[in-house]
A and B are shown apart, each in its own frame.
Chain A
Amino acid sequence: MSITNETANLHQNDPAVLCCLRNKGTIISASDLEDPTIVPDLRESGLLTIPEDALTIGQVLGATLKEDTDAMTSLTPDLLDGYSKKTEGSAEIRSSEPVNTGTSQSAGVIKFSISNVQGQIELPDGLANIGLPFTAPTVEKKPEDKIIRTLTQKEFAVQKVCMGTETSFNHGILTLRRDLCADSLKADPLVKAAEVDIIPAEDRHVYANTIMDVMPIATKVEGLLGEGVTHVMSGVVIMLTGVDEKGVQVHEFGSCEGYLDENIRFGRPGCPDPEDIIIRVNVTIQENTGMERRGPYAAHKACDAIIQEIREVLKRAPAEACTKQDVFHDWKRPGKPRVMLVKEIMGQGAMHDNVLLPAEPAGVEGGQRNVDLGNVPVVLSPNEVRDGGIHALTCIGPSTKEDTRHYFREPLVNLMAEDDEINLVGVVFIGSPQVNDEKSYVSARLGAWAEALDVEGAIVTTEGFGNNHIDFAENIDQIGRRGIDVVGVSYCAYQGQLVVGNKHMDAMIELNKDPEGFENEILGDSTLCPEDAERALLMLKTKMAGIPIEPANRQWQQEVIDANQQLIR
Chain B
Amino acid sequence: MDYELTPKLLPGKILEVTEREVKVTLKGRMGIITVPLRCVLTDQPLHVGLKIQVYLSYIQVV
A residues within 8 Å of B by Cβ? 251-256, 397-398, 436, 466-467, 470, 494-495, 497-501, 518-521
Flag if B1 contacts A254 (CB, 8 Å).
no
- Which positions 1-22 of chain B face chain A at CB distance < 8 Å? 1-6, 8, 10-11
Chain B residues within an 8 Å CB radius of A252: 29
Flag if A397 contacts B4 (CB, 8 Å).
no
Chain B residues within an 8 Å CB radius of A501: 4
Flag if A470 contacts B28 (CB, 8 Å).
no
Flag if B30 contacts A500 (CB, 8 Å).
no
Flag if B8 contacts A494 (CB, 8 Å).
yes
A-B CB contact pairs (8 Å), 28 listed = A251-B29, A252-B29, A253-B29, A254-B25, A254-B26, A254-B29, A254-B30, A255-B29, A256-B29, A397-B29, A398-B29, A436-B1, A467-B58, A470-B1, A495-B8, A495-B28, A495-B30, A499-B5, A500-B1, A500-B2, A500-B4, A501-B4, A518-B27, A519-B28, A519-B29, A519-B30, A520-B28, A521-B27
A466-B58, A467-B58, A494-B8 are contacts. A499–B3 as well, Cβ < 8 Å? Answer: yes
**Min distance, Cβ B1 to any Cβ of chain A, angstroms:** 6
Consensus secondary structure, chain B interface: loop
Interface presence of B31 (CB below 8 A): yes
Interface presence of B48 (CB below 8 A): no
Chain B residues within an 8 Å CB radius of A254: 25-26, 29-32
Chain B residues within an 8 Å CB radius of A499: 3-5, 58
B residues within 8 Å of A by Cβ? 1-6, 8, 10-11, 25-32, 58
Chain A residues within an 8 Å CB radius of B6: 497
Flag if B8 contacts A497 (CB, 8 Å).
yes
**Min distance, Cβ A398 to any Cβ of chain B, angstroms:** 5
What is the bound-complex CA distance between A466 and B58, given in angstroms? 8
Consensus secondary structure, chain A interface: loop
Chain B residues within an 8 Å CB radius of A398: 28-29
What is the bound-complex CA distance between A519 and B25, given in angstroms? 14
Chain B residues within an 8 Å CB radius of A255: 29
Chain B residues within an 8 Å CB radius of A251: 29
Chain A residues within an 8 Å CB radius of B5: 499
What is the bound-complex CA distance between A496 and B31, given in angstroms? 14
A436-B1, A499-B3 are contacts. A253–B31 as well, Cβ < 8 Å? Answer: yes
What is the bound-complex CA distance between A251 and B25, given in angstroms? 14
A sample of 9 more A-B contacts (CB under 8 A), given A251-B29, A253-B29, A254-B26, is A253-B30, A253-B32, A466-B58, A470-B1, A495-B30, A500-B2, A500-B4, A519-B29, A521-B28
Chain A residues within an 8 Å CB radius of B58: 466-467, 499
Chain B residues within an 8 Å CB radius of A500: 1-4
What is the bound-complex CA distance between A501 and B2, given in angstroms? 10
- Most chain A Cβ neighbours within 10 Å, of B2, B5, B10, B27: B27
**Min distance, Cβ B31 to any Cβ of chain A, angstroms:** 5
**Min distance, Cβ B8 to any Cβ of chain A, angstroms:** 6
Chain B residues within an 8 Å CB radius of A253: 29-32
- Most chain A Cβ neighbours within 10 Å, of B5, B8, B11, B25: B8
**Min distance, Cβ A255 to any Cβ of chain B, angstroms:** 8
**Min distance, Cβ A214 to any Cβ of chain B, angstroms:** 17
Chain A residues within an 8 Å CB radius of B10: 495
**Min distance, Cβ A296 to any Cβ of chain B, angstroms:** 15
Chain A residues within an 8 Å CB radius of B31: 253-254
**Min distance, Cβ A551 to any Cβ of chain B, angstroms:** 16
Per CB-CB distance, the 3 closest pairs between chain A and chain B, nearest first, are A519-B28, A254-B29, A499-B3
**Min distance, Cβ A525 to any Cβ of chain B, angstroms:** 11
What is the bound-complex CA distance between A9 and B10, given in angstroms? 39
Chain B residues within an 8 Å CB radius of A256: 29
Which residue of chain B is the closest to A470 with respect to CB atoms? B1
What is the bound-complex CA distance between A392 and B6, given in angstroms? 31
**Min distance, Cβ B41 to any Cβ of chain A, angstroms:** 22
**Min distance, Cβ B6 to any Cβ of chain A, angstroms:** 6
Which residue of chain B is the closest to A520 with respect to CB atoms? B28
Flag if B1 contacts A519 (CB, 8 Å).
no
Q: A519 touches which one: B2, B3, B27, B32 (CB < 8 A)?
A: B27
**Min distance, Cβ A360 to any Cβ of chain B, angstroms:** 31
**Min distance, Cβ A179 to any Cβ of chain B, angstroms:** 35
What is the bound-complex CA distance between A521 and B3, given in angstroms? 26
Chain B residues within an 8 Å CB radius of A498: 4
Chain B residues within an 8 Å CB radius of A436: 1
- Most chain A Cβ neighbours within 10 Å, of B1, B4, B11: B1
